[in-house]
Structure formats: structure tokens, C-alpha cells
Structure 1
């Protein structure tokens, strides 16, 4: 996770552009191999910002902040979630039929839309569609329409693929196995494909091609279903990074923050995972909820509803423990300490989002077993990444899984992916900012933390970074900077600091749980080309729709428009 070590967000995500991946935190240049294999990956259009949204060069809206469209419903406040979902789906489709021209869609385009997900929160519902042509889903297409409970269209994200031609005629399509073989040959890897899907692709010449989409490891490859040509290849990583209860010991959130110490103080150094009395003094006893007991072997393991420890890649060590008892009380010199630390923090934050906040966010890639994580991954490199529902933590410098900031940052990429149903955005470093925001918020909520009078209060990666290994990042990066001027010219991890900083100003103003709920709800309304201002408008719109007070909505507005310069429209509470 070095300053120049981006966190890898290798999410196997559904959209060409959204398919971002994200790393823990450390930026890092792509390998020469990755750069040479990447093919026909085009960045989202920047668009033209207007008061009511952002527009493409062809005049179609990319994001609409106040669509001014209302479909009356007769539901009472006591209606069921299923009734609200059905009503919202009707309203969303009525909107698309009536306003299709604003989105650059033709009548046939709307008729062929496929509703793929309906996400409900009290106060609003997000209805998500993708395009189809010739019976195939269109690669890169995503339209998300957010409907308030009263039938008002609140926000629209439009990543439609416009001016689609009919599918080009060709010879009979090859089998999925044949397409997998071509993709593997192109990548030069023996990795098994995790998923294949027939899709339609609008190519660079504006022709519509019948393709196989093959996901192999962290690569997303499109193979022409007739000719076998590899049309597109994208490395999805982006470098930065029966149930029982057990007990264990972890850092909360890291040994420097809980001790109010500085890296390099006596006893507060990595020392290649050596124990010191000072570091041992910062170990906190915790309950490990939901761990699994195997009656056949008689062993307990770190596997539950929200998190599961797994060996996913080299170094292929024995970091995931299985014990005859429920006590996982390791010190950091033990190979299994990192697994316990990661399990506790992932499980805790997933319960916070899904239970405390009431925002459903579960890996769609494997809904059973929650977040799969490898505490010792990347062949020991000093970086971490999210990919396809899984978290991978490196061991260079300070072991990444020993710092809750790294763990929660990578989990933040996953939450962004799951909330948008595979349409995560890295435009202007958005998902990197999401990761930094959730990591910093989680850290600030721990007991005996830094105060705003302390410089480390505004740091992310207090133990893993801000040391000889890499400089970490900050969450007051907005001070003295102007959006979009000072954001647009920066690489993703640097630019994302503006997004995290602005949202943390609002979090300090209205409280952690209130801001986090609005933040995640707003994020669920966005798509693969969403930029920071689009997302800010979605979050503040979500807060108003969720019934936040005028004081709370205005405080978010002050964070976005005074402490930062997004220039969002502040809705009435």
C-alpha cells in the first residue's frame, strides 16, 4: 500500500468502465505484462457539467440530479417492501419511456431493456437496467433510476450504449469452452475461468459484435464468438489495494493509534513481525462472531456469514488457522495473527453496514460465506487488492492485514462493487476515495482514538503507512484545493483523497452512522461513469429522501459546497 502503491481493486465487475478494481491504498504502476495485454479499454467520457446534471458530447445525460418527473402511486407508508419495489419499477420504466430522448435512447432501446436489480431502502428504491439487443445483454450498459417512495424520480445514472446497430451476421458461435481456451491462450495463463457469458459489444467501428465474456483471475476478456478474435482485455486490478463464537486478540484499529504513538518510537516498529512489549500491550481481546465448527474434524475455523479466511494465492502458507478450541489468541509473530485481525475487522464492518445501518451489501459473487480474504497474498508484495468478491493482503513492510485501515479500505471497494451491482466507478478516483472514507470513519469510531487536534487524525494507514515503507494518505486533502481543477489532473489514489475528505467533513458534522447510511445509499444510486460531483449529489439526495432533518441535509451541503467546491444542489429535507 505505498503512496505509489495503489490498492488493487480487481473486481470482476460487470461493466467495461465500471469494472474497476481497487487496491488497499498504495499506488503502483501496472506490470509491463499487464500493460501489453490490455486491449481496447476506453475511459468514460468526462462530459459537460450543468446545474441539473452531466451530459455527453452527443447531448445525452450521463447523470441527472433533478429529473423533475413524478409518477403518482397510492401506497401508504405501511406498504410492504415488495409493494414499494413494484411501484418503483413501474415509475422507473414510465420515466424511461417518457424521457428516453434525454438519455439518448430510442423507442426500441427502451423496449429491449432488462431490469436486473431492484434495491430498496426506506424512502427510496434504485431500479437498475441493462440493454439487450438480439437477445444478448449489451456489454458496458447500465441505467440506474432512483425513485422516492412518493413516486418522484430522484436521480438517474445513465451508462447506456447508444446508437446500437443490429448484431452483425456471422458464422455459428463457438462454445464457451473454446472461448475460454482462446482467452487463456491470450493471457498466457493456466488459470481457470470463473465465469463466461454471451454478450453484445459495440466495437470501435460502431459495429455490434456477438462475444463471449470470459473472466479469468483478475482479467476480463471479450472474445468474438464467431472469429475468435480477442476484442477487449482489461486487468481489473488497480494498484494502490454451524456457527459458534470464538475469542481472539487484535489491534483496534492499529497499535500506533490506540497507543497514540509514532512509528519509530521505542518498540513501535515492524521488525519483520517481531513482538515487542509495546506492541503486545496494544492487543485487545475481542469476540470472533460466527466462526465455523466442523463436527467431523472437531476444528474451529475463521469462516462465517460475513467473512471467510482462504488461501487464494501465493505464498500459499498456513495463515488461515483451524483449531480444536475457540481461542485464537495469537501475537503478531504467529503466522495466523493477520488472519484473526482481518476476520474480526471484516466481520465487524459487514455487520455494521448490513445490520446496524440496514444497507444490504453482500458479495454477489458468492453470497454464502461473505467476503473471502487471503491474509497472506500477492507473493508477499507490499500491496493489497479487491477482486471479484475477494480481498488479498500483501506482507511487504508492515503486513497489510495488521492495519484495520488497509482491511477496511479494500472492503470499501467491495462494498462499492456490491452496492452498484457490479458498476463501480474509478472516475476521479471515486472508489479509492470510498475506501479511504470508510477506513478513516471506522478508525475514528474506535475507542481512545486521535482527536482533530492531532495530525494523525487526518491520516489513513497509520500503521502500514506514514513510515519508511510508504507515506500513506490523508483525509484533509480538500483544504486549499478546488474541484474539479485540482482533482482532474491527479491519478486515482491522489484524486480520491478529495472525495474521502469532503465526506469526512460531513461525517464529523452529523455523526458517523447518519452520514454512513446516506453515503452508502447514495452510492447505490450511481454507476460506472459516476464522477465525484455526481456521487455527491446522489448522497445528499439520498439523505433528503431518507428523511434527514434540514440541519443534517444542510450540513452535508456545507461540507460539499463550502468546505469543498462540488456545487451540489441542496434539496429540501
Structure 2
């Protein structure tokens, strides 16, 4: 090449410049691979036929599974437990390490849980450094029975090998000291509701891994299931929240920091713990070895008095006689019989007493010699309502395929029918696997929508063990509302009054108004993050997710498809999406699962249509 300017020739300069540029270009990849900064990688989900999408701030990246060098994982014949599948999963991770951002990453993936699904297998892997988990860092995947990977959700921190020396790995603060810090900060003057726990973990703070204790401490005053993150070296409180997921009737009841405005002097923690342990010893659970399985009877509303009586003017303080025709006698199956008494303790549901209830008083579960005759106003009626409908809903899950190695509730679930210090709210407690119902205005247990909604939180938590972050707050509430409507649709008179109003009885106008699942004007903004119960002007964040689900349910069942098939699509869509997911990524995953479950059927097209109506899918 010869370039001249006037009489000057620059051949040598050009050659030298080109050689220098070539050398720099050749050296760039090696330099780029020398990483020394800890960094959270963009959340990414890999789905079938997904077009790559550019990420916006704090949002997910969507990629096609074809971007993975290997999209097969043969788990056929292996037992559904972490130890049995670990070798095959690690091989899959190694083959895709570069694409998943795990090449040269000192933090390794460890199989945490696995479960069979309706279409194959679900696997959750936890990222750990020196066998200590990194908070909110995991990879989830789903794979078909034929070994084809159906989805991969990556949410990891890049910990370059060169950066490991900067990470402090030992704790100067003891576990007991961390618990003391939390107790003191709470100014706890009540009793323990469950044993406290403190576990080490790494927290990514501005690209620095901080060793913390995750302390869980549930107390009656200030009431809550508090979760703290305490710096394991300085004792600094990094964050605190109530981890219970509430129904959200009142903004003051939303999860948050403890209200210490009326706090006094903290009680003695060791004495409180000793008292709790003594109380646990004194409580005599039903001996499963000697108890007999029995069937009893009881009265329930079917599904609530507003629907069954077709009376939208019904009020909480109406005379008892006005409700007489709303009661229905039902069979209570799976009960435990001991000492001639029937207990509402079965393999799927256990009515327990683990929270103070109305007036701050703890009330033991009711028993009977055969038939519960209690009516509203007597908490024994709430016991029966709660046991019957939760037992029915979990039995329904088994009917549609979630049984055996797919079972979402292999150990059942514990429920307190008179909890929350009597507050007008109800909640599910992740990590403790507890449901509790409060009173105030209409008792929450008198409306099946509340019972099914709260169980819905337990369902999504069991389907996806890493549930949290992103839009999960609004999605979880929206799914709970969907589950309430879908279950009520299968009950006599369930759709008699206002099919798409959620909490027809508990949410009468005189109480709090309830929510709806027909907000057709709601539109999704990909630049927002949707937490639980957020007001969006003309709709709530929860309704943005429940509406397309319920619209799909009504259209598909109206066209002759079964409720069971629609529920299966909604449930399977939540499996394998990891944490910090958005409405958009879950919508895409739901459509993909509809195609896998019902090829040639209208399910995928109908769900996609309604998600597009709300701009959730563009």
C-alpha cells in the first residue's frame, strides 16, 4: 500500500501502525479475560424461540436457548434429589460456562433442590464461595423427560479468581452476638414465635462481597417474622424486613421495617428463648403412630355468604339468622383421632396455634367428637373453613399432576386460623412455611378467596424456591388472586355474583373494597419494577398480572378447555424462572410452557394474546 502527500511517502509509517494495531487487537481478548472486579451479571433467561432483547436498567435479558453451546441434559433414570443429579448438572454447567458467565468464576454452583414437573425436571443451583452461599445468586433450569432443556434462568455474581483474596472470609461477630444485635434493635418485649436462626452468607454490596449473618427472628412484639442482614465483622445492620407476605388490605400492613415507635425496654432474650422451648415441650402434638385417620363433619360457607345468598348488601354485623341458609355441611377427611377426639390435623393441613390472635390471645385449635357445629363468630368455624378448603385445594393440585415426586406439599402445611395479633390481614411466611389468618371486620377465614389467595403464596414459593426480587411482589399477589378465582369457579355458586371481584365477602365496601381481575386498561411499563399492592392510578400492580391470567382462564374455559389445563399452564410457567424476574420474562416463560404442555391446543395463543393486550409481551 502506498500513500503519498505531496512528495512524502508514508509506506513505513502505515506498515508500522498496522502491525501495532494488529498486535493490540490480538492482545485484547487476553487482557479482557484478566478480570479482578466482582460484578453482578445481568439477569438472563434462555427460552425456546426467544428473540434476543436488549436489557434496560435492572431488567432481564431474554435469549434463545440456541445461544447455549449445549441445550441437552439427560436426567432420565436418576432419582429426583440433588446428590443423584449433581454430576450430570455440573457437566451441563461446564459445557455452558462461558455463555453463563461462569468461566473463571471462583464462586461455584451447587445443586440446592430438584423436583419433577409436569413436563420433566426442575433444578435450582445456588452460587457459593467457599461453600457459603451468595445471596440472590443462582441458576435455575427446566428440562424435558427427553433431555431437552426448556429454560435456563441465570442470576449470578462474577467473582474473578483474582478478586478472591480481597473477600473477608472469617467472622469477627459470633452467631449469638448477631442474634443479640437483632433482638436489641427490635426492642423485643414479646415472645418468640419460632426458634431464631442465623446463617452466614455473602452479600454483594456495590461489587464487594460482605460476609453477613442472615438472622430470622419471629416475635410477638413487635409482631413480625423479621429478617435481618448483619455484617459478620462489624455488627452493622445492613437491612431488615418482615418476610411475611400479607394480603395487603391496608398500606400500613405491607412488609417493611419494624415499627418501634411504642417499643419499651427489650426483654431478656435468653429467658424468652427458654420460655419458648418450654412452651414447645408442653404442647402435645398428635402422636401420628397411635392416632387413627378419621373423617368428621363440619359447617362451611360455599364459597362465601355474598355468593351463596346472592346478597351484595350483606354486612359483617348483620344478625346471625341472616346467614342461616349460607351454611353447608361437608365431610372433613384425613383427620387424626386420638383419645376419642377428632383433631384438624391431617397429612396435608395442620391447624396449629403459633401466633397470638384476636386481642393478643393464643387459642388452641378446636376438636370434636364427630361433627363441628360452630358458626361464624366462633373460631371453631374458622378452623373448619380453613382446614376444609386448604385440604381441598392441595388435593386438587395432586389431581392435576402434582403428586408423588411432583408433590408441592409433601409435608403438608401448618396454619393458624387466629393469628396476626388479631389484625385485619392474613399472611404466608416463606422459610417458615406457615399460613396465618387474622380477624377484623369480616374474619378472613369466612371468605374462600382469602384462604385460596394465601395458599397461592405457598404454592408459588414451593414451585420456585428462589422466588423474590424483580416484579415478584405484584406477580405473587396477582397469582394469589388468580388462584382464588380459579378455585372459586369450581365451587357451587362461586360465579353467581361478581366472578372477577376478588374477596367478595372479606372485601365488601364497608371493610376494604377488595380487588378486581378485569383491569383491561392496565398497561405494563418495562422500565418500572412492580412491587406488591402498588397503586398505578386506575389499577393496582397486583391486578396487572391477575387480569391477563383470569382473562385467559375465562376465554379458554369458554371455548371448552378445562380449568385444570389452564391452571397447569399458569403453575408450570413459574417453574424455573429463578429470582428477580419481570412480568415480561414470566409471561414469555408461561407461553413457552403452554406450547410444551398442550401443543396444537389454543392455550399458548390465548395467553400470548392477553399478555400482549397489556403490553406485557410487546
Contact 1:302 / 1:320 at 8 angstroms: preserved in 2?
A: no
1:429 matches 2:474: yes
Task: Indicate the residue corresponding to 2:419 in structure 1.
Answer: 377
Contact 1:61 / 1:158 at 8 angstroms: preserved in 2?
A: no
Task: Indicate the residue corresponding to 1:21 in structure 2.
Answer: none
Task: Indicate the residue corresponding to 2:325 in structure 1.
Answer: 281
Note closer, same or farther for the CA distance 1:362–1:72 as it changes in structure 2 (3 Å cut): closer
CA distance in 2, matches of 1:288, 1:505: 33
Contact 1:47 / 1:54 at 8 angstroms: preserved in 2?
A: no
Note closer, same or farther for the CA distance 1:59–1:229 as it changes in structure 2 (3 Å cut): closer
Describe how 1:387-402 pairs up with structure 2 within 5 A: 387=429, 388-402=432-446
1:259 matches 2:304: no
Contact 1:413 / 1:432 at 8 angstroms: preserved in 2?
A: yes
CA distance in 1, matches of 2:86, 2:608: 29
CA distance in 2, matches of 1:446, 1:379: 31
Runs of at least 5 residues in structure 2 that lack an aligned partner in the other structure: 1-40, 219-224, 250-290, 535-539
Give the TM-score taking structure 2 as reference length: 0.73
1:502 matches 2:555: no
CA distance in 1, matches of 2:522, 2:199: 44
Describe how 1:532-547 pairs up with structure 2 within 5 A: 532-547=583-598
Task: Indicate the residue corresponding to 1:97 in structure 2.
Answer: 94
Contact 2:303 / 2:493 at 8 angstroms: preserved in 1?
A: no
Aligned to 1:137, what secondary structure does the other structure show? Answer: strand
CA distance in 1, matches of 2:204, 2:140: 20
Post-superposition shift, 1:397? 1.0
1:522 matches 2:563: no
Post-superposition shift, 1:211? 2.1
Task: Indicate the residue corresponding to 2:3 in structure 1.
Answer: none
Task: Indicate the residue corresponding to 1:549 in structure 2.
Answer: 600
CA distance in 2, matches of 1:176, 1:227: 13
Task: Indicate the residue corresponding to 2:156 in structure 1.
Answer: 160
Post-superposition shift, 1:465? 0.6
Task: Indicate the residue corresponding to 1:24 in structure 2.
Answer: none
Contact 1:147 / 1:154 at 8 angstroms: preserved in 2?
A: yes
Task: Indicate the residue corresponding to 1:246 in structure 2.
Answer: 296
Describe how 1:221-232 pairs up with structure 2 within 5 A: 221-232=228-239
CA distance in 2, matches of 1:398, 1:545: 42
CA distance in 1, matches of 2:606, 2:59: 32
CA distance in 2, matches of 1:87, 1:548: 31
CA distance in 1, matches of 2:424, 2:80: 49
Note closer, same or farther for the CA distance 1:225–1:535 as it changes in structure 2 (3 Å cut): same
Give the TM-score taking structure 1 as reference length: 0.79
Task: Indicate the residue corresponding to 1:358 in structure 2.
Answer: 402
Post-superposition shift, 1:92? 5.1
Task: Indicate the residue corresponding to 1:271 in structure 2.
Answer: 317
Task: Indicate the residue corresponding to 2:489 in structure 1.
Answer: 444
CA distance in 2, matches of 1:60, 1:282: 48
Aligned to 1:96, what secondary structure does the other structure show? Answer: helix
Task: Indicate the residue corresponding to 2:79 in structure 1.
Answer: 82
- How many residue pairs end up in the alignment? 503
CA distance in 1, matches of 2:362, 2:83: 48
Contact 2:548 / 2:607 at 8 angstroms: preserved in 1?
A: no
Residues 92-130 of structure 1, C-alpha deviations (whole Å, 9 max, x = no match)? 5455334444444333357x1111111212423221111
Contact 1:117 / 1:128 at 8 angstroms: preserved in 2?
A: yes
Note closer, same or farther for the CA distance 1:461–1:420 as it changes in structure 2 (3 Å cut): same
Deviates more, 1:158-167 or 1:214-223: 158-167
Aligned-residue CA RMSD (Å): 3.4
Larger RCO, structure (CA 8 Å, separation 6 or more): 1
Residues 6-57 of structure 1, C-alpha deviations (whole Å, 9 max, x = no match)? xxxxxxxxxxxxxxxxxxxxxxxxxxxxxxxxxxxxxx98999996366656
1:471 matches 2:513: yes
Note closer, same or farther for the CA distance 1:471–1:179 as it changes in structure 2 (3 Å cut): same
Q: Which has the larger radius of gyration?
A: 2
Contact 1:88 / 1:149 at 8 angstroms: preserved in 2?
A: no
Contact 2:72 / 2:149 at 8 angstroms: preserved in 1?
A: no
Describe how 1:190-201 pairs up with structure 2 within 5 A: 191=192, 193-201=195-203
CA distance in 2, matches of 1:486, 1:58: 7
Note closer, same or farther for the CA distance 1:482–1:201 as it changes in structure 2 (3 Å cut): closer
Post-superposition shift, 1:346? 1.0
Residues 333-366 of structure 1, C-alpha deviations (whole Å, 9 max, x = no match)? 3231111111111111111113433264546xxx
Contact 2:574 / 2:586 at 8 angstroms: preserved in 1?
A: yes
Runs of at least 5 residues in structure 1 that lack an aligned partner in the other structure: 1-43, 569-573
CA distance in 2, matches of 1:384, 1:73: 41
Post-superposition shift, 1:323? 3.0
Aligned to 1:550, what secondary structure does the other structure show? Answer: coil
Post-superposition shift, 1:469? 1.1
Residues 127-181 of structure 1, C-alpha deviations (whole Å, 9 max, x = no match)? 1111111221111212111222333322222222334642633765443222222
1:107 matches 2:158: no
Task: Indicate the residue corresponding to 2:354 in structure 1.
Answer: 312
CA distance in 2, matches of 1:90, 1:62: 28
1:136 matches 2:137: no
Note closer, same or farther for the CA distance 1:307–1:54 as it changes in structure 2 (3 Å cut): farther
Post-superposition shift, 1:382? 1.5
Task: Indicate the residue corresponding to 2:274 in structure 1.
Answer: none
Deviates more, 1:534-543 or 1:422-431: 422-431
Which residue among 403, 412, 419 is the counterpart of 2:456? Answer: 412
Contact 1:85 / 1:125 at 8 angstroms: preserved in 2?
A: no
Note closer, same or farther for the CA distance 1:319–1:161 as it changes in structure 2 (3 Å cut): same
Contact 2:413 / 2:433 at 8 angstroms: preserved in 1?
A: yes
